[in-house]
A and B are shown apart, each in its own frame.
Chain A
């Protein structure tokens, strides 16, 4: 009897040691392949990590669904409130001619771009769905410069892991390089044939159509390439990855 329990004990010990080192190895491999999101800690870290890792393995470089002109929503819900302070009204009065998009951080040639400069670059357009985390949605056509083009112009350093982007209203968010370089990630200056209205985040809105609407930041003013999100004023309430 005692020999059986000893054998059982040894088997259980070996099995749990193997299990633990297996988990540790899997964790290290996942980290090396960029499968660990920045909010992998805390009570919900496990769910965040499973979702992010599973989707990074499953969705690859696929494109968000695109729609036809006829499917564009007649009443896209505008939720944007103009940023507080004097600067936004001043820029708005000048037709946003002085609006700048600054690109800095881990890039070889930091720079800043006016909207007319952005309009001079090869443009992209997409008819995609904006799905709000609250449950509602609309389909609209967005026109702008693919973020990947701007990243090529500025030359991203190889150690960059995230593109952090800031709104003029103080909000900040970040995406990984896979989403930053994705062909549908668009620095948008046009919506449904006109300029992006202020209610939809004009004059400049980053569209990330493979994630929920809150990742499509309004009033885009700055993009910073970085290898860490420590110190970045992200919204910690909502999950960082919002492919869902």
Chain B
């Protein structure tokens, strides 16, 4: 019981901070008329872990990622060869190619069959989804900066970046050690680094290399494609980064499984985490 009380108080401090943020954004949280949560430990067993905006943008991004992945794959199979520089086609040597059949008969793949052409709806879906993803990302970025989500939840503490702490965190992950209760309430240092590099590294890289493939956008902003090393280089980077994102999603879902799939997914949907259940 003593242990439990200590935990709730510890949790309470992080809650009261996050709650101030949530009240600003109008997300569901404690009612403002309620007693200050810091002096009311009874409400801390069930608290808001993820704000409404984080939850909505998380699932929108997940849906967008799925649509972009499926449509992107459909587009890639029409020419599963990659090049470096400005130009490249089936008559030039490739940098690398994916060993799959293609949806165009003249691409020599070593397979005797040709996949159906799905590029019409695939490209329309790819670009429509890209727009939704961009708006979602802008909303999330504005919220993260304004509410302190970026500073408090994503930027790692300087102390956590020391070699000893980092290697301990990596070792715990590699041993698939179940996260401690505290981690149900805040991201650990590896999570923070992974999320930061995806949100502010891989996502912008995808947008940039996507734009760098467009003949009209690069007419107005040629530095976009020059900076990427050419139109075909941009396509190759776009593909490699998409693989990195697939790897991230794979590890992300694996970690959710290890931490308790049901409770973590429920938390990301409802926003509420049950501290008592996490302790069991």
Binding site for A on B (CB under 8 A): 75-76, 78-79, 81, 83, 86-92, 104, 106, 119-121, 123-125, 127-131, 213-220, 222, 225, 231-232, 235
Contact = CB atoms under 8 A, between A and B. Distances in A.
Contacts of B76: 135
A75 B91 contact: yes
Interface string A216-244: 00000000000000000000011100011
A87 interface: no
15 contacts: A48-B124, A50-B131, A55-B216, A59-B216, A64-B219, A71-B86, A73-B87, A132-B89, A133-B123, A134-B75, A139-B86, A210-B216, A211-B215, A237-B120, A244-B215
* From A59, A65, A134, A243, residue with most partner B Cβ within 10 Å: A134
Interface of A: 44, 46-48, 50-51, 55, 58-60, 62-65, 67, 71, 73, 75-77, 79, 129, 131-139, 209-212, 237-239, 243-244
Contact of B92 (A73, A79, A131): A73
B215 A209 contact: yes
Nearest to A243: B216
Given A137-B86, A239-B127, 17 more contacts: A44-B124, A44-B125, A47-B124, A47-B128, A47-B129, A47-B131, A62-B220, A65-B225, A129-B231, A131-B213, A132-B79, A134-B75, A135-B78, A211-B215, A211-B216, A237-B121, A238-B120
B213 A59 contact: no
A243 B217 CA distance: 7
A62 B215 CA distance: 11
Contact of A134 (B79, B86, B120, B215): B79
A135 B218 CA distance: 16
A219 B83 CA distance: 29
Nearest to A210: B216
Contacts of A239: 123-124, 127
Contacts of A237: 119-121
Contact of A62 (B127, B219, B231): B219
A47 to B, nearest CB: 3
Given A136-B79, A136-B81, A65 B89 contact: no
Of A62, A136, A139, most buried by chain B (CB within 10 Å of CB) is A136
A244 B213 contact: yes
B161 to A, nearest CB: 39
A58 B220 contact: yes
Given A47-B124, A47-B131, A136 B217 contact: no
Contacts of A77: 89-91
A137 B123 contact: no
A238 B75 CA distance: 12
Contact of B104 (A46, A134, A137): A134
A211 B75 CA distance: 17
A243 B214 contact: yes
A80 B125 CA distance: 27
A238 B119 contact: yes
Contacts of B235: 135
Nearest to B214: A244
A233 to B, nearest CB: 16
A139 B89 CA distance: 11
Nearest to B226: A65
A138 B127 CA distance: 23
Contacts of A212: 215
Contacts of B217: 55, 58-59, 243-244
Contacts of B125: 44
A180 to B, nearest CB: 15
Contacts of A51: 127, 131
B79 A131 contact: no
A64 B79 contact: no
Contact of B218 (A44, A47, A65): A65
A192 B61 CA distance: 46
A47 B81 CA distance: 28
Given A75-B89, A138-B89, A46 B128 contact: yes
A210 B79 contact: no
